[in-house]
Amino acid sequence: MATEDKNRATAAAILPLVGGAANVSSIAHCMTRLRLGLHDRSLVDDEALKAVPAVMGVVEDDTYQIVLGPGTVARVTPEFEQLVEEERASAPPVVHTSEELAAQGAAIKAQQKTKNATPFKLFLRRIANIFVPLIPALIGCGIIAGLNGLLVNLEWLPSVTPALAAMASGFMALIAVFVGYNTAKEFGGTPILGGAVAAIIVFPGVANIDAFGQTLSPGQGGVLGALGAAVLAVYVEKWCRRWVPEALDVLVTPTLTVLISGLVTIFGLMYVAGEVSSAIGTFADWLLSTGGAGAGFLLGGFFLPLVMLGLHQALIPIHTTLIEQQGFTVLLPILAMAGAGQVGAAAAVYLRLPRNESIRRTIKSALPAGLLGVGEPLIYGVSLPLGRPFITACVGGAFGGGFVGLFNQLGDSVGSTAIGPSGWALFPLLDGNHGLGSTIAIYAGGLAVGYVAGFVATYFFGFSKALLEEFNVSQEPATSRVAATGPASAAGDTPVKEPAGV
């Protein structure tokens, strides 16, 4: 038998034993192994594969690996790829439903979550866990602050506005304490000790203390100082638990924890964290006053990829610091434009796939949530599994962010008094330096630009010819085909793990 025929025969013997072409999601090889990504591992016949003359063994890892040996694997792999393509070409057209896209999106999300489990990203996740529980209070107090500002400007209910101001400001005045409490809890210490050390930062009496030749100010260092103080308290407490006798632990450990951490906080952390906090505020102002549209374009365009990489969590303490310093964060309205791009892209997908009733139903059900800033149903159910529409959606977010950034550069700051909401849900939390009407108009304009840019980019550039042929298919034939062939053939329709059409 000729060598080419032998290699093709080996490939032909392997293909049905791994579930056929419909069960293969990826093909690669190393020096000795054919590495296959499979949709359904249960369709593989291990024993029959091992009996194929050219197969030396099988290994199951993140891919299914068939050991063929050096030289042989490099010759069998192209034949295997050709057979897979031929079998797929001769197969009836596969109809993609919204359920498949949702499953594909969930697979991508789970895969990305696994990739994000690096030490640095896990650390960022712990930081996020400290601040996320504070979001409901930030939202509630932020809305009350906005309402109070409106009443003050209109000179309505003057007897009520002082009370509203107290409600809006009380939490922010003590936010360092809550950050300290959550930090100690997250890092494995006693939460109340973390809160006690952080409370030093907001205690009015620190105004009588000098450090580094400067008189301290209550609140100096803010949430960053509170975070650092509480982390230090956790390590001091754990050290005490190891060395202090049990009989004295209840007295000595909390005393030493507060004493040591408190002294370091007063004579070190408050000053250092204060300088860092001031630098963050200064940099944010400089970035948008000089970079403006360009900075907004980049922030709006790259925010969703940052979310997928888990790096967006690093922004949470930055947002909180800006709110604590300036009363609002100028970054959030720009980042919210990423969601606007997704909405525009979803509308374009809806029009570009008129025959796919299933995907269109998903878009119609997820679009209201997307308008309110809840983007996951559209991202993981529509744009990300399709591949290219996710990229064009990011383009829409970039243009929306550039629009808001431009007005920041022109002197009209647009900010949010809280973190968490996005889309239309952010309107009640908007604040700025030139009145509420101007702020709302600029933010609404940014959303409109994001919608339009995301729609146009996706409608004209979001689909290749092959992608349209694959997905713009009516769902009706799928029902009859599955009914005619039974559940076994439907197993081959399991969605691939990689985005389509990129």
30, 141, 240, 394: which is the annotated catalytic residue? 30
DSSP H helices, 327-435, are 331-335, 337-352, 357-371, 376-378, 384-386, 388-409
3-class secondary structure per residue, 223-237: HHHHHHHHHHHHHHH
Cβ neighbors of 389 (< 8 A, separation 6 or more) are 345, 348, 349, 382, 383, 458, 462, 463
CA angle 447/453/456 to nearest 5° reads 140
DSSP H helices, 265-356, are 270-286, 292-309, 315-326, 331-335, 337-352
- Is residue 201 a contact partner of residue 176, using CB atoms and an 8 Å limit? yes
Side chain identity at residue 385, one-letter code: P
Side chain identity at residue 384, one-letter code: L
Question: What is the spatial distance between Cα 305 and Cα 499, in angstroms, rounded to a whole number?
Answer: 14
Q: Is 240 a catalytic residue?
A: no
Say how many CA atoms lie within 13 Å of 220 toward its Cβ: 22
Question: What is the spatial distance between Cα 317 and Cα 183, in angstroms, rounded to a whole number?
Answer: 12
- Is residue 325 a contact partner of residue 345, using CB atoms and an 8 Å limit? no
SS3 content of the chain, % helix, strand, coil (to 5): 75, 5, 20
Beta bridge partners of 414: 432
Question: What is the spatial distance between Cα 318 and Cα 123, in angstroms, rounded to a whole number?
Answer: 16
How many CB atoms are closer than 10 A to CB 308? 18
Tokens of 304: 């969703």
Side chain identity at residue 76, one-letter code: V
Catalytically annotated residues: 30
